[in-house]
Structure 1
Amino acid sequence: MFTLKYLSRSSFNQFSRRSAHFDFAKFKLSPEQIQKISKHQSPVNINEESSDVVHSNFSIEFNYKPIKSTKFQEIDSTLRLHNDDLGTIKVTDIDGKGPYLYRGYEVRFNGPSEHRINNKAFNMEMQIFHDLVEGPNMDQYDEKKAVVSLLFQIGETNHHTMEHLKTDKLDTIDEADLGEIFRESDNKHFYHYKGTLTVPPTHQFVNWFVLRHVLPIKKSLIQNLESHCIHQEAFHNFTTLQHLYGRKIGKNFK
């Protein structure tokens, strides 16, 4: 095991608790890499009035495919829809690097939300996971994963796309087109920052994109999603909010 000699005691304790599930030696990480990882943890609170949130020219383009005949699964205590090819996103990041092409492979659900906006937690967060497949100097690019995050608040209606995620006892959805969400004019504004995965191993760097517009969802649909979990904690959050440690959160709107 490497020693986190660069961290403050509070940071060390927090990072150690989050990292207790895996051995750093297995991943052959240097002390410098561990130091960087410790200061790039996710999730975070997005304080819109803070100087940490800045206007940025990052970009994200969606080319998703409909999810068909896919079964809900509880994997590593997380509710997921796994499909090897959900389509792609093309990203230019907050540092102007790119474009990078990521292929989607999984949708995960958490309740309440992992990310917060102005210290407000929402009833559910849906996260679409992607792997890096193409881009300039991609072997040297740290963010091998990208996650698109959508926040949901309980209301009187469901966003129409979410209606297709409601299932019977067979736990399988017939077809759902998540791309519909991002073709709507209200859903073009994002926050973007560089972080990590929120479940172990949390050493993998991630380009996070959090949709600004909070979507509606009925309580009954959240309960339907929860019903797929054998263990109650599978729908809940593994981690807590993390410090930014000087990171900036970009926004592509004024």
Structure 2
Amino acid sequence: MIFGLFALLSTLISAESTTNEVTRDYCSLPDAIYADGVSAADFGATGWSYTNAANWADFVVTCGGSFQSPIDIITTSSAQEAIQPQINYKSKDASTGYEEANKPYTKEYEGEYSEIEVTDASGSVIRYYAKQFHIHTPSEHTIDGKYYDLEIHFVHQAIQDDEQDCNKVKNKLTVFGIMFQESSSATDYEAFKPWFDSNVTGEIDSFDLNDFFSKMSDATYYHYNGSLTTLPCSQTVNWVVFQQPLPISSTQLKQFQDFLSDSTLFPIKHNNRPIQNLNGRKILKGTAITSGVTEIPDVQGSFAQIIAMAILITLLIQ
């Protein structure tokens, strides 16, 4: 019995170490078709910038497509979704860190977070993994013509595995757009501090998008097919834009706005693309279900859990 216990324990520990090394096969994104070789990294006075946003199609032809973002969301023209999909973070890994990315046109954190399940604008339920989040100020989307002080995009990419075929996923990306409005009573968000506070490292050790959802008293969202809002403007984005703005302190808003103080890169002091034509697209409206979701079982149990499991199984087979 003891020998069997240790053999089983060894097997389980070995399995745990194997499952810790997770490699994901992400659905590939379309390559941009460039008019003159300009890449998304060529941001600045001699390349693309927000001063020449009206002419981005001259740099990258996809920026002249019919399904471009951002848009003005006219709430009275939106259609109610027949089924209210769950925006479901299947697992919450608070130990997963995000590191600051070197992007000249925004402030961005990159780092895989966890699996979500969200309904695509085509009606299909697709699984994604969070990849990065970044800022635009003022907001890129408008709601009934209104701009907000800040918009943060939480970018998720679809995966290929035994349960999901990338060839059947129309929108390889789902992006959540959350608005922020300056408030004198708002407290600073811990997740934003590493960007600016000198006494904080450039990595977020713990991050959970549910922390933002929990602050919403109204989880109404608007849902449409669109594009990236920077080059290469790929039209492969399932957009989910939330209606209720969250408060942001004057201090943190100013820190984001001060990022745009370089007159060479941002002579017009903003990094939001102009509103694009809707071109007949449908805007769907729903209410996100973001709480009360059961997490998937953690197969990477603690050492104590593994021992307990081994003992239980050994006793059962005697």
Q: 2:79 aligns with which of 31, 35, 54?
A: 54
Q: Does 1:210 align with 2:235?
A: no
- Give a deviation string over 1:187-217, Cα, whole Å, max 9, x none: 5321110000000001241000011211000
Judge conservation of contact 1:102–1:132 (CA < 8 Å) in 2. Answer: yes
Judge conservation of contact 2:172–2:236 (CA < 8 Å) in 1. Answer: yes
- Give a deviation string over 1:140-163, Cα, whole Å, max 9, x none: 433111101100010123367x24
1:247: Cα distance to partner? 0.4
Higher Rg of the two aligned structures: 2
- Alignment-derived partner of residue 70 in structure 2: 43
Q: Which has the higher strand share?
A: 1
TM-score, scaled to structure 1: 0.76
Aligned pairs for 1:17-166 within 5 A:
17-22=55-60, 38-50=65-77, 53-56=78-81, 57=83, 59-63=85-89, 64-66=92-94, 70-83=98-111, 85-97=112-124, 99-134=125-160, 136-158=164-186, 162-166=189-193
* Aligned mates of 1:76, 1:104 — CA distance in 2: 21
1:125: Cα distance to partner? 0.3
- Give a deviation string over 1:216-238, Cα, whole Å, max 9, x none: 00121122345567846578325
3-state DSSP of counterpart to 1:176? coil
1:133: Cα distance to partner? 0.8
- Give a deviation string over 1:69-120, Cα, whole Å, max 9, x none: 544334142210111x1112211223322x1101111011010000000100
Identical-residue share of aligned pairs (%) = 25
* Aligned mates of 2:171, 2:53 — CA distance in 1: 20
* Aligned mates of 1:110, 1:185 — CA distance in 2: 20
Given residue 228 of structure 2, which amino acid in structure 1 is its aligned partner?
Answer: L
Judge conservation of contact 2:138–2:272 (CA < 8 Å) in 1. Answer: no
Q: 1:248 to 1:111 in 2, by over 3 A?
A: same
- Alignment-derived partner of residue 8 in structure 1: none
TM-score, scaled to structure 2: 0.62
Judge conservation of contact 1:199–1:239 (CA < 8 Å) in 2. Answer: yes
* Aligned mates of 1:187, 1:96 — CA distance in 2: 23
* Aligned mates of 1:227, 1:174 — CA distance in 2: 25
- Give a deviation string over 1:120-144, Cα, whole Å, max 9, x none: 0000001001111156543143311
3-state DSSP of counterpart to 1:146? strand
Q: 1:149 to 1:66 in 2, by over 3 A?
A: farther
- Give a deviation string over 1:8-53, Cα, whole Å, max 9, x none: xxxxxx998223333x5xxxxxxxxx69x71100000111122xx1
| Structure 2 gap ranges (5+) | 1-32, 36-51, 288-318
3-state DSSP of counterpart to 2:159? strand
- Alignment-derived partner of residue 178 in structure 1: 209
Given residue 135 of structure 2, which amino acid in structure 1 is its aligned partner?
Answer: F
Once superposed, which parts of structure 1, at least 4 consecutive aligned residues long, lie more than 4 Å away? 134-137, 226-235
Judge conservation of contact 2:223–2:240 (CA < 8 Å) in 1. Answer: yes
